[in-house]
Amino acid sequence: MIASPSRTVRIASRKSQLALVQTHWVQGELQRAFPDRQFEVCTMSTQGDKILDVPLAKIGDKGLFTKELEVKMLNHEADFAVHSLKDLPTNLPEGLILGCVTEREDPADALVVHEKFRDQQLETLPAGAVVGTSSLRRLAQLRHHYPHLSFKDVRGNLNTRLAKLDAGEYDALILAYAGLHRLGMGDRIHQTIPSEISLHAVGQGALGIECREGDAGILEVLKVLEHTPTAQRCRAERAFLRELEGGCQVPIGVNTVIAGDRLVLTGMVAKLDGSVLLKDEVSGLALEAEALGIELANQLKSQGAQAILQEIFDTVRPESLS
């Protein structure tokens, strides 16, 4: 049963432009569905937002973008938090759950180029062209397919990254199609990168709404935003990642397709230098999404994925933030 209509529902969000666009979309949808309720956005900066001069792989895992929001919920200072699902760890703190997954935008990676390369595609960029990405997943796959390109880490919000590109610090950037689209920057997308070249991040393109376990009133409210096919796809992807014990900064990519009641999950694990890339797929009932994710993870483990990941964990060990 939904809680008293008089109570204000507090939504926790990061302060970044993309986070606020996503959170205000959720707020608006819920306000339309429940006109007698009040939905208030509470913003805060996370550790990941504050540390912009160090590659993500060096400073920690996905929790960098969620911990402060989770503390607010556990302290009953917020009722739920809106995340880009790809930023949400697969193992959540005790007392919190993934309460809702919204309909997914296109989860593909996208190429954005400097003006001088407007007539090029990813596959035709010249040798030595500098491509910016902060994702080891993208880096490993692109090194595998395009070893002649040069890759350079890039941090900052979307506007900052695009400004660095336009200023000539980079020749191209690899960004999420969904983020560019949600911020009204779809015209900057030069090429949507096919999954054959770059499998996307787990949960990419979907919003994940995290809330307190057992909060029946909030869970009932969130039901109006749940998109079952997206939720099934993302459950398979998150189970695959969890079984591989992979965090934010490991080269693990996925792709999921639902046709009728069937789900096809493709997954990959790669070495950082792109010299080895393992890829496989499984299919089965969409209702058994998590089991499919675990099955695929075990298939890749049997092909050597565990050794690849262990090598990466030993090489790219997060530095202490204390």
Mind telling me the catalytic residues? 87
Specify the amino acid at residue 53. D
Listed in sequence order, the DSSP H helices in 17-151 are 17-33, 47-50, 56-59, 67-74, 136-145
Are 240 and 297 contacting, i.e. CB atoms less than 8 angstroms apart? yes
User: How far apart are alpha carbons 146 and 127 in whole angstroms?
Assistant: 9
Are 281 and 300 contacting, i.e. CB atoms less than 8 angstroms apart? no
Instruction: Quote the Cα angle for 107-108-110, to 5°.
Output: 135
User: How far apart are alpha carbons 197 and 157 in whole angstroms?
Assistant: 25
User: How far apart are alpha carbons 273 and 113 in whole angstroms?
Assistant: 23
Label the pairing between strands 150-152 and 252-259: unpaired
Closest alpha carbon to 217 in 79, 28, 42? 79
Residue 67 backbone dihedrals phi, psi, to 5 degrees: -60, -45
| Cβ neighbours, 10 Å, residue 40 | 11
Are 21 and 182 contacting, i.e. CB atoms less than 8 angstroms apart? yes
Q: SS3 of 43, please? A: strand
User: How far apart are alpha carbons 22 and 124 in whole angstroms?
Assistant: 34
DSSP type of residue 270: E
